Structure 1
Amino acid sequence: MFFLNLLVLFSRGKMKILMVFDFDHTVVDDNSDTWVIRCLPNRTLPNSVKSSYRKGHWTEFMGRVLKHIGEQEVSPDGVRSVMETIPYTAGMADLLTFISEHKDRVDCIVVSDSNTLFIDWILQAAGLRGAVDHIFTNPAHFNDHGHMEVSGHHSHDCQRCPVNLCKRKVLEQYLSQRAGGGSSGGVSYRCVVYVGDGGNDLCPALCLRAQDVVMPRVGYSLEKLLRVEEGVRARVSAWSSGEQILQELKASMES
């Protein structure tokens, strides 16, 4: 009877694995916010826009970048067509395809400082949007003039993170909401696998449990920060390609 109950519990998704992905330099092998500059005729920004960046206020800066792109009369389709050419990181498309084929056992979210339009376009162009259950990022839209606008994801009081996004807050809220569940019952993930590359991925790594895994990209900021950070309880497993992440996911599914 115990094993029957365990099987029923698993079949209802109560023991799923949660994959959490950053996007830039993780799912894709570049920065979507800088890739968009390629839609400009000369592929460069004027100094007045370049020099307007303030540390910790990247999304505000991107608002000015997108405003400039709109003023150059680049159409929404022109922006989208350029964004759809950004390359995926090696092995990442296969990884997301595997996840899409195992949704009964794996949930997947993206937490990124990019924006909703860029991420949706890029995933849809490769037929991979179905792998991702939720995208948490900065909302973006085209205004009445056909110019793209972006705003911050949320407000928070974390001193580690940029003013528009604390990935730890996003992850903790998501886990809490999933645990609440509603009429179908909650989901308590037996393992969370967090995949990222940058400094803003350290904060969410600090809320992971001992049974979870944080996967920093080899040679990037997160890997270097994890070497000196003493507050991480999760196991650290560095990666260079999506194939290594897939191997880690399969091992977690079998354990």
Structure 2
Amino acid sequence: MAGIVVVFDFDKTIIDVDSDNWVVDGLGATEEFERLLPTMPWNTLMDTMMGELHARGKTAGDVAAVLRAAPLDPCVVDAIKACYGLGCDLRILSDANRFFIETILDHHGLGGYFSEINTNPGAVDGDGRLRIAPYHDFHAAPHGCGLGICPPNMCKGQVLDRIRASAGADKRVIYLGDGRGDYCPSLRLGRGDFMMPRKGFPVWDLICEDPSLLQAEVHPWTDGQEMEETLLRLGGGGGVGGGVLLEARNLPALDCKLESLPAVAVQDGMPMPLRIKN
């Protein structure tokens, strides 16, 4: 799989929960979170909640302790290590934040497997309060994506374009994600690339509305085991890596083309309110 860039979303893709909700619930601030949810964009809300938790006496260490308990499927760990071992360039593209992501990755010994983490800045200030900033400063200017789905603080499609440019035009991309924000990058993948949406999640529903809009092959997955198996099968089919992983694990070939996508009930594709995290 050398010559491949594997781009992972984080929440509900690498870990099996939303890290923001996990921290808010774990530190007993759910009621305040839900009260403020209708009043501001999600990214701004999370910075506000970190201030509220700090005022309650919760430290960055308390936040980190909750994050270390977030569920991470061992099959996802195996998939990351297997792809890295074959020479893939692994990157994260997430609307979480750097503090949350790095805390979880380091806890599981995965920090060194990723060449780049693209996410909202998150760091502890001089007062010990965790600050979360937007990836794109939408207060200064909008990011300009015209799709109407991307949140104001991050257009993942634009970030994916930059990743592709930095990796080189000869690299093929495998993109894994679950949320509405992962739809924009799926539209920017080309022929020879692979889109791996989490089945039954918002990005899957959006893709199923009109699969012909995507140039990349679509290979859905439901859980960590299927994620791992799908990545390995892509190593044996579709011309990625000459089947090295497939031979190692003796897995059957995957036949999951766009035209095999089932007809399912889907969302209407209309933009969600800005407060909704993708």
TM-score, normalised via structure 1 length? 0.84
Matched, 1:25 2:12: yes
Q: Offset at 1:46?
A: 3.7
Q: What aligned pairs does 1:1-255 form with structure 2 within 5 A after superposition?
A: 16-40=3-27, 43-47=28-32, 49-54=33-38, 57-89=41-73, 91-103=75-87, 106-155=88-137, 156-158=143-145, 159-179=148-168, 188-189=170-171, 191-229=172-210, 230-240=212-222, 241=224, 242-251=227-236, 252-254=240-242
Alpha-carbon distance in structure 2 between the residues aligned to 1:248 and 1:201:
22
Alpha-carbon distance in structure 2 between the residues aligned to 1:210 and 1:173:
18
Q: Offset at 1:114?
A: 0.3
Say if 1:62 and 1:140 are closer, same or farther in 2 by CA, change over 3 A.
same
Alpha-carbon distance in structure 2 between the residues aligned to 1:89 and 1:193:
20
For the residue of structure 2 that corresponds to 1:193, the secondary structure is strand
Q: Offset at 1:39?
A: 4.3
Q: Offset at 1:101?
A: 1.9
For the residue of structure 2 that corresponds to 1:51, the secondary structure is helix
Larger CA deviation: 157-166 vs 52-61: 52-61
Contact between 1:26 and 1:89, CA under 8 Å: does it hold in 2? no
Say if 1:133 and 1:63 are closer, same or farther in 2 by CA, change over 3 A.
same
Alpha-carbon distance in structure 1 between the residues aligned to 2:216 and 2:199:
17
Q: Offset at 1:243?
A: 2.1
Say if 1:177 and 1:69 are closer, same or farther in 2 by CA, change over 3 A.
same
Q: Offset at 1:90?
A: 5.3
What is the aligned partner in structure 2 of residue 182 from structure 1? none
Q: Offset at 1:54?
A: 4.4
Say if 1:56 and 1:173 are closer, same or farther in 2 by CA, change over 3 A.
farther
Q: Offset at 1:216?
A: 0.7
Contact between 1:99 and 1:131, CA under 8 Å: does it hold in 2? no
Q: Offset at 1:56?
A: 8.2
**Cα deviation 1:100-146 (Å, max 9, x = unaligned):** 3223xx11110000000111111111111122110000001111221
What percent of counterpart residues are identical?
A: 29
**Cα deviation 1:2-22 (Å, max 9, x = unaligned):** xxxxxxxxxxx9x60010110
What code does the residue aligned with 1:121 have? T
For the residue of structure 2 that corresponds to 1:192, the secondary structure is strand
Larger CA deviation: 239-248 vs 214-223: 239-248
Contact between 2:120 and 2:134, CA under 8 Å: does it hold in 1? yes
Contact between 2:149 and 2:180, CA under 8 Å: does it hold in 1? no
Say if 1:37 and 1:226 are closer, same or farther in 2 by CA, change over 3 A.
same
Q: How many residues align?
A: 229
Q: Offset at 1:244?
A: 2.4
Alpha-carbon distance in structure 1 between the residues aligned to 2:233 and 2:128:
43
Contact between 1:39 and 1:78, CA under 8 Å: does it hold in 2? no
Alpha-carbon distance in structure 2 between the residues aligned to 1:254 and 1:209:
20
